[in-house]
Structure 1
Amino acid sequence: MLSIAVTTLAILLLGITILARLPFHWWWIRCCEFPRMQISMLALLTLLLASLSESPWRWLAVSSSLVTLVIQACYILPWTRLWPVQVQRAESGQDERCIRLLVANVLTPNRNAEGLIALVKQHEPDIVLTLESDDWWGQQLDAALCKQWPHVVRIPQDNLYGMHLYSRLPLVSPQVERLIQDDIPSISTGVTLRCGEDIQLFAVHPRPPAPNESKESLWRDAELLLIGKRIHDGSFPALVAGDLNDVAWSRTTRLFCRVSGMLDPRRGRGMFSTFHAHYPLLRWPLDHVFSSEHFTLRDMRRLPGFGSDHFPILTTLCYRPSRADEHETPEANGDEHREAHSTIREGKEREQED
């Protein structure tokens, strides 16, 4: 019985691994991309248990487990310290060129605003971006932050897609956009750094592929790729931040990076898994900060929880365009640009099925 159980689990893990590689938008396929670390740990367990199995089950379990581990490692390793960093480390000084950004999905029913406000006041970021923030959260944050973070964009919504942005730095022509779906907002704004230079910031929180949200990832993918295409076409210094409802190693996020040319400061440094805050064995990186080649990284850290199902993430980047050539900027080929264009067009044209 042990031999059959171990072999069955090994084959199941391999099947999930192969499903995640299929280029379809169905939620049950795209969700297979999320638990790559957990699948790897289970595959390692089946590999160890296979030594107790009997032939011919042993070799089937061993081979299935090994293939699973190799495939998963190819996706996971870039987000470990075993991989070269993608965003170069910032030199000391140049504080007037740095921007510190705190991103926090607050979880709308969570009412521990004081916990988040304490983290904001402890770390004093230049910009605070909250996601899932409704009217109640907006009132609490306004009362606590508006004096020191006077530049504000408010989008209170009670559908889990509200958004608030508080900034010490001046905002240039901030816009609230609904790029793909009318109930899913995003923010696009210029930010004037202390050195006087302007950069562009995109704050996003697309709808996830999940049974209670959307049967397909199409609309999430289309929103991310639309922003990526805008950055590519504009060739301006940019940051993209938010809860992407997608993992760093997913097919869509990697395509977004190639289409936009954006860099992931976590590569070569760690996963910084922000979800789920309450279940240590079920965590993956959902909250992101991406930068164009114009930035170097001073610091990135995951902050303590405050009652939400997400941990906040704090990132300090320095605007150093003179060091842009130190980065290996990802580039999309012609087929990938066509795929992105097709996904954006389909996402705009098709209505979501609940």
Structure 2
Amino acid sequence: MLTTIIIVLSVITIIGTFIKLLKEDAWWIRFFDFPQAQLAVLGMLCLVGLILELDFNIWWHFVLTLVLTAATVYESIIVFPYTWLANKESKRINDVSDECTLSLMISNVYMYNREYQRLVKVVKDTMPDVLIMVETDLKWEHGVKEIEEFYPYTIKYPIDNTYGILMYSKLQLQGSEVKFMVEEDIPSIHTYVKLRSGDLIKLYAIHPEPPSPTENERSTERDAELYLVAKEVEQVEGPVIVAGDLNDVAWSHSTRIFQRISRLLDPRKGRGFFNTFNAKIPILRWPLDHVFHSTDFRLVDIQRLPAIGSDHFPMYIRLAYSPDRPNDEPLEDPAEEDEREEAREKIRAAL
């Protein structure tokens, strides 16, 4: 029985690893982008079991072990940049003035969660300069109304379809727009944030639709929104931040193309996964809530915040705008022409 279980789990690991190589947008294929760390660990455990249990004089036992080894190595390579052993993309800075810093909190509140005060407490404990909340309806807007005393600038688009978005800011917002980049009922916020130093930061707050049987049967629309933002960022002259629940993991093929086109940095690389979903199921967690920034920022602080009753943990980051001491060039290679063409095809298919 034990041998059978090990073999079945090994086959699941192999299928889950290599099915992602299919360039298909079906949700049941793209789902396997998410649990790559879990598949890497499962593969390691199964390898130990195979070595102890199988008879390598039987040819298919030997082949199974070889293929599982390849799958485990592949998964480990994919998630390695998010371990403490890897190089850091975002350089840290300690001696910094508040004048040039921006602290940001992002939180997918889960629309049906009504524990407003848990979020309010985290906000009051953290006091970010900018707060982005997604999956917000009118009840959430009213439920957290007391925080408005700290935030004189707001952009609100609450909807009861789980794609509402609210932004609260201590800092002045300029040129603010609510856009519907791909789908007419999924908003994103595009705005400039004026730092205390007077510098303007372009901020994109997005929450594209995930590939899932209950949301969207394909990943095309999600990927298209990521690529559209990346192409916009590529044309922006000045500092940029992209933040939100991207409904994609940091190590996926689509997020890597997003980074290669936008040339933005991921502050988690070399520091950890910072898994934000699923807050209620510890064994099934991966990083869905992201902050990417241009090379003229340095990292002051990054942390996952306490649970608020949602299926997502909030994320907090504090960045310092330091154009005189920029980060090194991004470690991701620039997008190649075939990747740009893939992005164009996804955008055409979605629009």
TM-score scaled by structure 1? Answer: 0.95
**Corresponding residue number in structure 1 for 2:90:** 87
Tell me whether 48-57 or 33-42 shows the greater mean CA deviation. Answer: 48-57
Name the SS of the counterpart of 2:303 in structure 1. Answer: strand
Query: Identity over the aligned pairs, expressed in percent?
Result: 39
Please show how residues 70-219 of structure 1 align to structure 2 within 5 Å.
Answer: 70-141=73-144, 143-219=145-221
Shift of 1:249: 0.3
**What amino acid maps onto 1:48 in structure 2?**
V
Please tell me whether the aligned partners of residues 90 and 327 of structure 2 are also in contact (alpha carbons under 8 angstroms): no
Report the aligned-residue RMSD.
1.3
Distance of 1:115 and 1:12 partners within structure 2: 38
Is this contact kept in 2: 1:6–1:61, CA < 8 A? no
- Answer yes or no: is the 8 Å Cα contact 1:46–1:61 preserved in 2: no
Check the 8 A contact 2:209/2:215 in 1, yes or no: yes
Match of 1:297 in 2: 299
Instruction: After superposition, give the CA deviation of every residue in 1:76-107 in whole Å (9 maximum; x if it has no partner).
Output: 00001010100111231222111000000000
For the residue of structure 1 that corresponds to 2:23, the secondary structure is coil
Deviation digits for residues 237-259 of structure 1 (CA, Å, limit 9, x no counterpart): 11001000000001111100001
Instruction: Find the aligned partners of 1:329 and 1:4 in 2 and give their Cα distance.
Output: 43
For 1:325 and 1:10, the matched residues in 2 are separated by: 41
Find the aligned partners of 2:197 and 2:2 in 1 and give their Cα distance.
65
Show the 5 A alignment for 1:216-227.
Answer: 216-227=218-229
Partner residue of 2:54?
Answer: 53
Q: What is the identity, as a one-letter code, of the residue corresponding to 1:21?
A: L
Cα gap change, 1:68 to 1:101, in 2 (>3 Å): same
Amino acid of the structure 1 residue aligned with 2:126: H
In the TM superposition, residue 58 of structure 1 has moved relative to its aligned partner by 4.0
Partners of 1:181 and 1:117 lie apart in 2 by: 30
Distance in 2, Cα, partners of 1:174 & 1:252: 27
Structure 2: segments with no counterpart, 5+ residues: none
Gaps of 5+ in 1: 349-354
Normalising by the residue count of structure 2, what TM-score does the alignment of the two structures yield? 0.96
Write the letter of the residue equivalent to 1:85.
K
Q: Distance in 2 between matches of 1:117 and 1:243?
A: 19
Q: Tell me by how many angstroms 1:135 deviates.
A: 0.1
Among candidates 239, 242, 249, match of residue 240 of structure 1: 242
Shift in Å, 1:4: 4.1
Q: C-alpha deviations, 1:305-343, integer Å up to 9, x for none?
A: 010000000000111122235233531122222221221
4+ runs deviating over 4 angstroms:
none
The one-letter code matched in structure 2 to 1:106 is V
Counterpart residue number, 2:21? 21
